[in-house]
Structure 1
Amino acid sequence: MPLQLGFTGDVMLGRVVDDRQRRRSVDAVWGSVLERLRGLDGLVINLECCLSTRGQQWQRTYRPFHFRADPDWAIPALERAGVDVCTLANNHILDYEEVALRDTLTELDGAGIARAGAGETIDEALGPAVRTIGPSNGDSDDSIANNALEVAVIALTDNTPEYAADEDTPGTAWIEIDASDAETRRRVREALERARETNPDLLVASLHWGPNMVTEPPKSFQEFGHWLIEEGVDVVHGHSAHVFQAIEVHEGRPIIYDAGDFVDDYRVDPELRNDRSFLFVLSVTPDGDPLEFRLHPTEVEDCAVGEASPEAAEWARKRMRNLSSSFGTEFDRDGDALVLSLEN
């Protein structure tokens, strides 16, 4: 029986989202998408903030925005949505310096939410997030356990090099997005090898890459995505641009060049519509063979994510078809969702 693994773009729970959530129900941030999230077998998000009430805003280099959320509500909200993995390799995890990063690691670990992409050292940041997803839930029945999926996620970023971890300093798993760069290849292969040591059925590379408000990936990102697949990655999960980009299938494996934004408080660009995206749901066999991607249109309103309105959903479907067509990607339609078959 196929399992359903969800992927989202940026989940930014700070600033106005944090303020609203202090005065409404803990799961209000997930709006009308909550039941769809809870119906998944697993869920991977990019957490675009730190979870802490401590620390001072980063002042060592200029930073225009600083994002953090109170873990007293944010952790229960992540639990309510069924979040299994948070990727932390991004340009906001150190917005309130090392103390807030450490709080984030502690809070996620305490909740049993796996994490990747940031840590006390570069060694920790390169380590994979590993989860068993599916209906087993610790059940000892062999027929149920055999339907579980072992997932390993590595997380990397080319954003904000001043947040990079090293052998002695907390921070992110930072790389240059250049498949020909020897240091990049060494670091990525180290992360992939450590992930493979966990014997996963599905290997995911989650990348916070590139600038904001760009609708198409550069050629170097395409080359890098292809290289990752050729190195054994099953799914490339891109994010950072705040707007969704194309999906490409390379050697039978999907590359989401950018998943856009899922939750935030950002000003909306009337043309690029950074408030519109998708919940990306991968149908995969327990052996780790991707079957299809199903894209459910979403829309941010009042600092919460919800099912997109008919007009917004139609706009998002059309934009995704147009962006992906140059990569040879064609979608079917099922209700409000776009469907991409991955079966050979």
Structure 2
Amino acid sequence: MEGNLGHENDRLVHRNRYDVDGCLETNVTHGFTLVAVGDLIVTRPLTKGHHPGFSEIVEILRNADVTFGNMETNILDIRSFTGSPQAEHGGAYHVSLPDLAPDLKSMGFNMVSYANNHTFEWGVEGMRETCRALDQNGIVYAGVGENLAQASAARFLETPGGRVALVSCASTFTPMSRACDPAGAAPGRPGLNPLRVEEYIVVPPAMFESLRQVRDALPNYGSGQSDPNRLGLAGATYKIGDQPGYSYLPNPADVADILRNTRQGKQFADFCIVTNHGHEPGNWSQQPPDYVQSFARQTIDAGADAYIVHGPHQLRGIEIYRGRPIFYSVGNFIMDDLRTPVGADMFTAYGKDPRTDTDAEVTLAEMAQGYESDAGFTDPIFYESVVAVNRFEDNRLAELRLYPIELGHSERFANRGVPRLARGQQGRAILQRIQDLSEVYGTEIVVEDDIGVITFERSARRTEST
């Protein structure tokens, strides 16, 4: 028996090989490529339509081993759909035509995340319809399931370059969309894989003291709080700091579950991608929340070969950590938001009347005003992003090419939101923005032929010197 156990341990150690940086080894073929883009807010098939410049983008997507995006819509046929729009939504009731799934496949997408704040807007029926459409078209998705174990598990794609695992979670989501496992006689709950984060509003000491006085003056304020540097007031939690801002504490149980599934995903695959959908601290911010760098690095330490954030709807910086890319936000890829129907709650939220106003007018009002504390999506910055092409050689990140794209901010509503390569001054401005945002991470991006280029050796030297 002891001999058998020893043999099994030797086999596991051999299988779980680590590279020189102490990470679980990458094991893909020479020249393996990953294309990463951001949010897919798309309501109709695009490849057969008239969209100038889109074919150039599609060519880039199709020429990769893995093409990844965030599925930020639901696919269903409203004529036969048995569910309904839910009482809570993630900012809008995103819905797409059934033809979208085969069109995404035609574009080149073979892996998507489906854990985000729009996943449950059409209930569990909408989630299941969307999953069915993705399954039928051979698009691997992660981040949702019939219980937490399924939602948090890695999903796998077989490619000629190697087996690829995907683990996806969301830190921004509607409360009722969180999956859970069975407990005793209670069944599990369908939903998404959560990364719960506790938000703190940081204020200087003088402001904190004023808030404490307000709290203490209120009836039944609950002064049993023992931490003198933190207080709760009107549903928010405040803590003392040097400058006003936001701070986040990720849920330890969620972190442990995600890291375990990352490790297992890599053990069962040659390459592992981990993604998170998070808007924190808000769509207005070009800087990620304070917890993200540590968490992203933890996923890479656990076996991830790339960590991708989507959700803020605009670009954030890029870090190269232990030879793996961390994208703090890849922004929007498609914002073809011709959604219909939008749901009665959306008409009410924006002061519209379904008897006289149209779905498009509700959508335009939502985009102009935004939701929660954000200022809407009127700024052209939300219509500018990149397509990130990651090439691996000898199981190391050799080069990362950033193709600047623009989504037609100035186009009429029916034609807006479809990507094309950004050229000239606009393309250079997008690349300059990502250069500036990445500098703090020691990442050097050079511009060659209107394309941003990161080489591993160059970025590694910069990281070692900081």
Tell me whether the two structures share a fold, i.e. TM-score over 0.5.
yes
Match of 1:141 in 2: none
Aligned-partner Cα distance in 1 for 2:97–2:377:
28
SS at match of 1:228: helix
Change in Cα spacing, 1:6 to 1:193, as seen in structure 2 (3 Å) is same
Aligned-partner Cα distance in 2 for 1:62–1:153:
26
Residue 273 (1) aligns with residue 287 (2): no
Cα displacement string for residues 111-146 of structure 1 (whole angstroms, at most 9, x for unaligned residues): 11111001111111112121133xx4xxxxxxxxxx
Change in Cα spacing, 1:32 to 1:180, as seen in structure 2 (3 Å) is closer
Match of 1:84 in 2: 110
State the Cα distance separating 1:179 from its structure 2 match.
Answer: 7.6
Match of 1:191 in 2: 261
Match of 1:10 in 2: 39
Match of 1:212 among 274, 283, 294: 283
Aligned-partner Cα distance in 1 for 2:195–2:392:
29
SS at match of 2:381: coil
Aligned-partner Cα distance in 1 for 2:191–2:48:
32
Residue 152 (1) aligns with residue 152 (2): no
SS at match of 1:323: helix
Residue 341 (1) aligns with residue 455 (2): yes
State the Cα distance separating 1:227 from its structure 2 match.
Answer: 1.8
- Runs of 4+ in structure 1 off by over 6 angstroms are none
Aligned-partner Cα distance in 2 for 1:28–1:114:
26
Match of 2:73 in 1: 49
Match of 1:298 among 405, 411, 416: 405
> Please, which runs of 5 or more residues in structure 2 have no aligned partner?
1-29, 182-187, 198-247, 338-366, 368-375, 409-414, 461-466
Aligned-partner Cα distance in 2 for 1:39–1:185:
34
Aligned-partner Cα distance in 2 for 1:149–1:336:
31
State the Cα distance separating 1:25 from its structure 2 match.
Answer: 2.2
Q: Is the 8 A contact 1:26 1:77 kept in 2?
A: no
Residue 96 (1) aligns with residue 86 (2): no
Residue 174 (1) aligns with residue 243 (2): no
SS at match of 1:213: coil
Q: Is the 8 A contact 2:89 2:120 kept in 1?
A: no
Match of 1:69 among 96, 119, 127: 96
Match of 2:223 in 1: none
Change in Cα spacing, 1:335 to 1:191, as seen in structure 2 (3 Å) is same
Change in Cα spacing, 1:217 to 1:180, as seen in structure 2 (3 Å) is closer
Aligned-partner Cα distance in 2 for 1:293–1:197:
25
Alignment RMSD (CA, Å)? 2.3
Match of 1:39 in 2: 63
Match of 2:318 in 1: 247
Q: Which stretch shows the higher mean deviation, 101-110 or 183-192?
A: 183-192
SS at match of 1:68: coil
> Please, which runs of 5 or more residues in structure 1 have no aligned partner?
137-147
Larger radius of gyration: 2
Residues matched between the structures, number: 321
Percent identical pairs in the alignment equals 23
Q: Is the 8 A contact 2:89 2:118 kept in 1?
A: no
Change in Cα spacing, 1:27 to 1:231, as seen in structure 2 (3 Å) is farther
Q: Is the 8 A contact 1:246 1:324 kept in 2?
A: yes
State the Cα distance separating 1:40 from its structure 2 match.
Answer: 2.1
Q: Is the 8 A contact 1:8 1:279 kept in 2?
A: yes
Residue 311 (1) aligns with residue 425 (2): yes
State the Cα distance separating 1:62 from its structure 2 match.
Answer: 5.4
Aligned-partner Cα distance in 2 for 1:58–1:113:
26
Q: Is the 8 A contact 1:260 1:277 kept in 2?
A: yes
Change in Cα spacing, 1:310 to 1:87, as seen in structure 2 (3 Å) is same
SS at match of 2:407: strand
State the Cα distance separating 1:91 from its structure 2 match.
Answer: 0.8
Q: Is the 8 A contact 1:179 1:224 kept in 2?
A: no
Q: Is the 8 A contact 2:195 2:250 kept in 1?
A: no
Match of 1:120 in 2: 146
Q: Which stretch shows the higher mean deviation, 267-276 or 161-170?
A: 267-276
- TM-score of the aligned structures, taking structure 2 as reference length: 0.65
Aligned-partner Cα distance in 2 for 1:84–1:62:
27
Q: Is the 8 A contact 2:36 2:388 kept in 1?
A: yes
Q: Is the 8 A contact 1:202 1:288 kept in 2?
A: no
Q: Is the 8 A contact 1:26 1:76 kept in 2?
A: no
State the Cα distance separating 1:272 from its structure 2 match.
Answer: 6.0
State the Cα distance separating 1:326 from its structure 2 match.
Answer: 1.3
Matches within 5 A, 1:225-244: 225-244=296-315
Residue 326 (1) aligns with residue 440 (2): yes
Read off the aligned partner of 2:170 and give its amino acid letter.
T
Q: Is the 8 A contact 2:35 2:390 kept in 1?
A: yes
Match of 1:258 among 305, 329, 343: 329
Read off the aligned partner of 2:96 and give its amino acid letter.
A
Read off the aligned partner of 2:152 and give its amino acid letter.
L
Aligned-partner Cα distance in 2 for 1:180–1:299:
33
